[in-house]
Chains A and B, each alone.
Chain A
């Protein structure tokens, strides 16, 4: 938690303020816990530690209990989604075709585990159940694009592509900025 950049502190404060405003919609009863957590995640993309503590305070239950419930369910995320979202299918067909190897490739390449986000917020990796195109197994979904017949070499290729894209963006930005000043 300490390694998270300070940028997230303001973000977290804003998130808690937003949650504060939303909470009165829900009954002050423990049965409202999961609906509240779902609403928080829908709005903010993930559940931060502070958010869970605030929810616990509202429902008058222990933060540990909120954490225990939230971590039990696969649907809850505890890391902000990255700029590039990578989902690796581990449904039956993909599992048989080596989906776990593809996931491991992503994990090793980025130095994070499934469900986490890189510290620079560029990439997040998730494991998902069947995405419905088993004939293409093993499947990964990168920023909404389905990539079938994944191979470790294609994982490498993907990052080269991202790198090229980022460099191009930076170049364009650099070209644009001085140009804009001249016009003004």
Chain B
């Protein structure tokens, strides 16, 4: 057991955990989208979990830093918030938020983050990014909505953990990046009773299809 201080409050945690894990387990919320407990190497791609520590001069991502006894962590300094707000605005410039038609239970993770760092859900003052991708993509077992995808990669990673020959992958690159399947054996994929990717998606970019028997 080691002790760290977060925003003046002392918490106990174990050696080897990351700052983000330690905080979340002790009920201290740090915004995050790409964090996945089972991931060996954090992707650290959402750039939302910044904190300031007594170790480093500049803010660091809480998902990549392991705890150390006596560490002093601050989650709400001005420098941290500035980084988080910029990162969040950049995410929102590509995530076309349509609260009325969005099937995700509200408040969604993005709403929660927006409230936490006190910004709106629009990308202003940044521009909305118009990506040249399809509105809806049929992935056999579920539907993929590229405009809601924030490229956190959680679905691709859980798929790799669960299935030896992971069917889900990122394809293309840059603004054209999409999550997709590839291969002719799509009908004998293990997706029917897995659904881990849909469950882990934080933004409603992967939505399960209703079973055909119901319609």
A residues neighboring B (CB under 8 Å):
49-50, 52-53, 56, 61-68, 71-72
Contact = CB atoms under 8 A, between A and B. Distances in A.
For B166, B180, B182, which residue has the most chain A Cβ atoms within 10 angstroms?
B182
Contact of B169 (A49, A50, A53, A65): A65
Q: Would you list the 6 A-B pairs with minimal beta carbon distance, nearest first?
A: A67-B182, A63-B183, A64-B169, A68-B169, A62-B165, A71-B171
Contacts of A53: 183-184
Contacts of B182: 49, 52, 63-64, 66-68
Interface in B121-147: none
B170 interface: yes
Nearest to A74: B173
Interface residues of B, number: 15
For A52, A61, A68, A72, which residue has the most chain B Cβ atoms within 10 angstroms?
A68
A71 B172 CA distance: 5
B108 interface: no
A67 B186 CA distance: 14
Contacts of A61: 165
A52 B181 CA distance: 13
Nearest to A52: B182
A63 B183 CA distance: 6
A72 B173 contact: yes
A49 B182 CA distance: 9
Given A63-B183, A64-B168, A64-B180, 16 more contacts: A50-B184, A52-B182, A56-B183, A61-B165, A63-B182, A64-B166, A64-B167, A64-B169, A64-B183, A67-B180, A68-B169, A71-B171, A71-B173, A72-B171, A72-B172, A72-B173
A132 to B, nearest CB: 24
A67 B171 CA distance: 7
A92 to B, nearest CB: 17
A50 B173 CA distance: 22
Interface of B: 165-173, 180-185
14 contacts: A53-B184, A56-B183, A62-B169, A63-B165, A63-B183, A63-B185, A64-B166, A64-B167, A64-B182, A65-B169, A68-B169, A68-B170, A68-B182, A72-B172
Contacts of A56: 183
Contacts of B170: 68
B172 A62 contact: no
A62 B183 CA distance: 9
Nearest to B171: A71
A56 B169 CA distance: 14
A61 B168 CA distance: 13
B189 to A, nearest CB: 10
For A49, A52, A61, A64, which residue has the most chain B Cβ atoms within 10 angstroms?
A64
Contacts of B180: 64, 67
Contact of B184 (A49, A62, A68): A49
B181 A64 contact: yes
A67 B184 contact: no
Nearest to A70: B171
Contacts of A72: 171-173
A67 B182 CA distance: 7
Contacts of B172: 71-72
B173 A62 contact: no
Contacts of B173: 71-72
B171 A68 contact: yes
A84 B142 CA distance: 39
Contacts of A49: 182, 184
A65 B183 CA distance: 10
A74 to B, nearest CB: 9
